[in-house]
Amino acid sequence: MAILVTDGFEQVEMTEPRKALDQAGANTSIVSPKEGHVRGWNFTEWGDSFPVDVPLAQARPEDFDAILLPGGVINPDTLRMNEGAVLFAQAFLDGGKPVATICHGPWTLIETGKVKGRRLAAWPSLQTDLENAGAEWVDKDAVVDGNLVSSRKPDDIPAFNREMIGLFGRTDARQAQQRAS
């Protein structure tokens, strides 16, 4: 599972979903255009530093089964201007792989041009951005639309984690069944 971030991701929107995924048996890797370490944002100030497991320049979407796009403002605003990050995220949408995003994370997805007709929860200030991209913004704690799960904010993390684990589990079962046949 790829966790695509750069400096300024909302720390709790990465650490809590990552912990839930790890506890569910997933193998998570921080992927970033920045090498070495990335630094989280802890609500109103800089947070902790985390090692980058796979530099984006070396990351291949086919090596991952799913992607997590945490929010924060700085992180997705930076990622959406990075062509490699946008193409990396787009590969998951194009491949029908699970995509989980929270808060401002959908900014990166908007840049893929692949959210038209999709339903997403996101931070309220993204409503116009999503609607302009042809998506429907939904004011709920967690929304599942096909291979995409989304939430609005850190308070939604328990619902987000539940729906994310459910979506990824259904996808894993489907992939295992396809391999067996």
Active site (catalytic) residues: 103-104
Looking up tokens 């396809």 gives 178
- Residue 132 CA to residue 126 CA, distance in Å, equals 10
Strands 29-32 and 37-42 turn out to be unpaired
H or E element in which residue 130 lies: helix 127-132
Please report how the helices 157-180 and 11-23 are oriented relative to each other, as an axis angle in degrees rounded to 10.
40
Which amino acid, residue 168? F
Report the C-alpha gap between 110 and 137 in whole angstroms: 12
Q: Output the six-digit token pair for 87.
A: 């193409």
